[in-house]
Structure 1
Amino acid sequence: MQANQRKPHRPGRIRATLTLIGLAATLCCTAYAQGGYPARPVSLVVGFAAGGSTDKLARLLAREMQEALGQQVVIENRPGAAGNIAAQYVAQAAPDGYTLFMATLSSQAINPWLYAKPGFDPLKSFEPVALVARYPLVVAVNPAMPTQTSAELLAYMRANPGKVFFSSAGSGSPGHLSGELVKSQAKVDMTHVAYKGGGPAMLAAMGGEVTLTIETIPAMIPHVKSGKLKGLAVTSGQRSAALPQLPTLSESGLAGFEVTSWAGVVAPAKTPPDALEKLQAAVGKALAVPRLKSAMEADGALPSYMPGKQFQVFTAAELKRWGEVVRSANVKAD
């Protein structure tokens, strides 16, 4: 055959190949659209170690979600950087509905202001599935402190400027920033001491290393009930059924004060809408199960179902609010 002689053109073979490609794509999309999701277990990634309040909530939720989805929901713990490591991992995962993130107040509304490069955008990197729960923080002091109420504690702070120290789970933690809000709104002077986790922060208050501590209610309940810490108030707008004897800070003289930590489920950006709808429905059904509601309320968590766009609007508002607090208090990451 001469060098410039071309092989015969075979339009039939090309058409057949294109037809097969098109058919394969159609079958794939049709299988997905006809309710194929979820066809395998779903991972729910938690940014904290096993045993913590976020992990416990995720496991309670996963148990009920898998009943609604018909597939196992597996908890995957990826602790570090106050949830940033897990958030970045999920943000970079395939947007197929099989990798979800247990987003929190810290990861979505506080960390983006503390870290120059968190590795994700709290709004653009994720699709909101649903808000799951909100829970207050507890203000507690060493039992030896003479103050019996938060109003007395505020008076003590005013009478002892520079002598009051409060502990939290770390710089930029919800407990730390709640304390900064108390300082600002009550116009009192107290010094923050950051510890590596809520456990050490509470132990510091028990041992008298600091005057008081502010931590989320699931972690505080056993210590307040045992008397190892003297609970004075909750930070939410209403009292908690888990510790009903504690008034709110708003009741105690800080009118309008309200802070709740929260957790919700998000998926990677561009996750298909039908997968998101099924996940939203599964979360809604899970939160309606009496045993889940009872378990959450025993830990002081308030079931707070808020799907899709509502959750996105809520997250954007929280991001703005806590950005202002971080800037005002000049908070830096540990």
Structure 2
Amino acid sequence: MIRWLGLTLALTLAAMAPASAQLEPGRPIRLIVGYGPGGSLDLVARVMAELVRDRLGAPVVVENRTGAGGVIGSDLVAKAAPDGHTLVMGGGGSHGVTPAVRRNLPFDPDRDFTAIARVADFPNVMVVSAALPVQSVQDFIAYARSRPQGVNFGSTGVGTSIHLTGELFKLRTGLEMTHVPYRGAGGSSTDLRSGQIQVIFDNLPSVIGQVQAGVLRALAVTSAARAPSLPEVPTMAEAGLADFVVTSWVGPFGPAGLAPATVAQLSRAFTEAAASPQGQERLRALGAVPAAEDAAAFDRSWRQDMARWRRVVAEARVPVEE
């Protein structure tokens, strides 16, 4: 009987272990970034790595694993041991848009990740050339409707979040707009200024310098609230387009199967870091809007974002990579 009770107790403790597991003190945490150094995800990852280190009692090492539009880095984490020591800094592109425009991913985007925390948002901004005779979103809609051939909008490539933001604008307004993809933001800004394209929906940090210099005109930001760096520019909702909130959100993910206690430990460290005065100051310096969304809330918003982009891709008939 005693032997049986001992075996039962051992099995019970073993079953409970994953639920109570936490990070190994002092063991480094790898924070994977699926893009090159200097991009928005990389910069946020490096800020957060410094800020969560003391909260977790372990070094956080940022590793850039580039390739396939962030897929290689995400795949590495999807297949990592579910112990909380390997994370990927995900974003609205890698974990929101990519699942909508690519079918044969090496992982299941719906089942192979655990959301940890949403730490920052980068609003997109609708910009036109300062020479274009429009001052508002409604002016632009009227301008586009007055042109029988429609207008052109640029993006950083087919299937990117910037491209899909333009497609969402088309769906919400019913405008005839032709997508012109570029490799990077530089070409689209140049052609916008010369009149080859009429509008772009770019990340705010990419165009804010040209807006402040008066070369480009910002008509609206796509965030729920006005951007602190452009307080005079209305949101899309204020400009007359409800249900048009698009941000390039940023937050870490772990592999599926993380113990709830590990998720809670990581989520608390990241949200506290993002909400701290130092975190808010450093994130805003990058052009980001600080966020502090815990694991449960982040999981809901991330999945809603994936579902939204899948609908946009289907309705706009955006080519899907097989």
TM-score, structure 1 length as denominator?
0.84
Give the % identical residues.
38
Q: Distance in 2 between matches of 1:322 and 1:224?
A: 28
1:68 corresponds to: 55
Q: Which moved more, 1:153-162 or 1:196-205?
A: 196-205
Q: Distance in 2 between matches of 1:124 and 1:217?
A: 31
State whether residues 23 and 85 of structure 2, in contact with CA within 8 Å, keep that contact through their aligned partners in structure 1: no
- 1:323, distance to aligned residue in structure 2 (A): 0.7
State whether residues 22 and 265 of structure 2, in contact with CA within 8 Å, keep that contact through their aligned partners in structure 1: no
Q: Distance in 1 between matches of 2:129 and 2:220?
A: 14
In structure 2, the gaps of 5 or more residues are 1-9
Q: Which moved more, 1:313-322 or 1:254-263?
A: 254-263
* DSSP 3-state at the match of 1:45: strand
Answering whether residue 111 of structure 2 is matched by residue 162 of structure 1, we say: no
Q: Distance in 1 between matches of 2:310 and 2:82?
A: 28
2:43 corresponds to: 56
2:230 corresponds to: 243
1:272 equivalent among 238, 241, 259: 259
1:323 corresponds to: 310
2:173 corresponds to: 186
2:130 corresponds to: 143
**What amino acid maps onto 2:294 in structure 1?**
P
Structure 1 pair 270/303, CA: closer, same or farther in 2 (3 Å)?
same
Write out aligned runs for 1:1-334 (5 A). Answer: 37-333=24-320
- 1:122, distance to aligned residue in structure 2 (A): 2.0
- 1:34, distance to aligned residue in structure 2 (A): 8.6
Comparing both chains, which one has the higher relative contact order based on Cα–Cα distances under 8 Å and sequence gaps of 6 or more? Answer: 2
- 1:134, distance to aligned residue in structure 2 (A): 2.2
TM-score, structure 2 length as denominator?
0.87
Q: Distance in 2 between matches of 1:53 and 1:207?
A: 27
Q: Which has the larger radius of gyration?
A: 1
Q: Distance in 2 between matches of 1:86 and 1:124?
A: 16
Aligned residues: 309
How big is the alpha-carbon RMSD for the aligned residues of Structure 1 and Structure 2? 2.5
* DSSP 3-state at the match of 1:100: strand
- 1:164, distance to aligned residue in structure 2 (A): 1.2
Q: Distance in 1 between matches of 2:36 and 2:190?
A: 19
Offset from partner CA, 1:222-248 (integer Å, 9 cap, x none): 221223322121112321111111112
Q: Distance in 2 between matches of 1:79 and 1:177?
A: 22
Q: Distance in 2 between matches of 1:235 and 1:278?
A: 32
